[in-house]
Amino acid sequence: MIEMKEVYKTYSNGVLAVNGINISIHPGEFVYVVGPSGAGKSTFIKMMYREEKPTKGSIIINNMNLAEIKERNVPYLRRSIGVVFQDFKLLEKLTVYENIAFALEVIGEQPKNIKKKVLDVLDLVQLKHKARHFPNELSGGEQQRVSIARSIVNNPAVVIADEPTGNLDPDTSWGIMNIFEEINNRGTTLVMATHNKEIVNTMKKRVIAIEEGQIVRDEARGEYGTYD
Ligand code: ADP
Ligand code: ADP
């Protein structure tokens, strides 16, 4: 489902951020990506949704080779991958409902299907009662739940999250993790970069550790390690 072969990424300033990564992630897996700051975790994750292109190597996701995909086909890729960010990236001028509906409108979903799909995902993240609110009227944890709802409303095979609990307190973070677990239990593959040691050590999922652009550890029921 997700396969990287001999993947390298050198930024235009000469920094080698990813230095020869090989990995296979299978449908339905839940994978934590850990490592120190500057290790290359974000770069690794950004290449999975084609925010960054690899300098060398192949990345196959849902049978699409990201290294070869044409710019005009990137929207098709984005339909099959949901992305969740540390800073939520909600549209401030749209309500909660509209933020999620927008993700369906841009891919041309039929208007008759939009309301049901939006309300279904709002139900899953327990925020139906905030549908008419604006992002700045919500707590950080609620905003992240909206952003998770938006990431899954297209029913993607894969959800990728980069430090989704990085701005949240521990209790709120656990609420967010429970939602990700529920999404994974429904069959969605999840890849998440995180600095949350307690969560990684409690959940006992696959852990990939990256240091200096390389995978230094890949364990089926892994631990966080000794990073800050
Ligand atoms: P992490 O997510 O583990 O903190 P990153 O992937 O963000 O690591 O960064 C890996 C390395 O690449 C770091 O040295 C960082 O400074 C560098 N880097 C990240 N993004 C860019 C960029 N857009 N341009 C140049 N260098 C970058
Ligand atoms: P239920 O049938 O479960 O009560 P509703 O249809 O009343 O669900 O909608 C739940 C929430 O979503 C309400 O706050 C409602 O106002 C809001 N909502 C429903 N449809 C829209 C829409 N088209 N635009 C904006 N908000 C909507």
pLDDT digits over 152-175, tens only? 999 999 999 999 999 999 999 999
Ligand nearest to the CA of residue 44, numbered in listed order:
1
The rounded Å distance from CA 39 to ligand 1 centre is: 8
Which tokens belong to 10?
Answer: 């050198």
Average pLDDT over residues 91-115: 95
Report the range of poorest mean pLDDT among 60-69, 97-106, 126-135, 210-219: 60-69
Query: Could you tell me the pTM of the whole model?
Result: 0.90
Beta bridge partners of 31: 191, 206
Q: Please tell me the number of the ligand nearest to residue 133's CA.
A: 2
**Euclidean distance between CA atoms 148 and 83, whole angstroms:** 8
Please, how many CA atoms are within 13 Å of residue 188, restricted to the half-sphere of its CB?
Answer: 26
Predicted confidence at residue 157, as pLDDT, reads 95
Q: Which ligand is nearest to the CA of 33?
A: 1
Q: How far apart are CA 86 and CA 84, in angstroms?
A: 7
Tell me if 115 CB under 6 Å of ligand 2. Answer: yes
Dihedral of CA atoms 103, 108, 113, 114 in degrees, nearest 10, equals: 30
Residue 185 reports pLDDT greater than 90: yes
What separation in Å is there between the alpha carbon of 209 and the centre of ligand 1?
16
Q: Please indicate whether residue 74, judged by its CB atom, sits closer than 6 Å to ligand 2.
A: no
Instruction: Give me the pLDDT at residue 225, please.
Output: 95
Of ligand 1's atoms, which has the minimum distance to the CA of residue 44? Answer: 6
| Residue 21 scores a pLDDT above 90 | yes
What is the spatial distance between Cα 114 and Cα 34, in angstroms, rounded to a whole number?
A: 36
Atom number, ligand 1, closest to the C-alpha of residue 37: 4
Distance CA 119, CA 115 (A): 6
pLDDT at 43 over 90: yes
pLDDT at 214: 98
32 and 207 in contact (C-beta within 8 Å)? yes
Model confidence at 31, pLDDT cuts 50, 70, 90, reads very high
Q: What is the mean pLDDT of residues 11-31?
A: 98
Q: Which of 7, 9, 10, 11 to mutate to test the pocket of ligand 1 (most atoms within 8 A of CB)?
A: 11
pLDDT band at 75; cut points 50, 70, 90: confident
DSSP 8-state symbol, 125: T
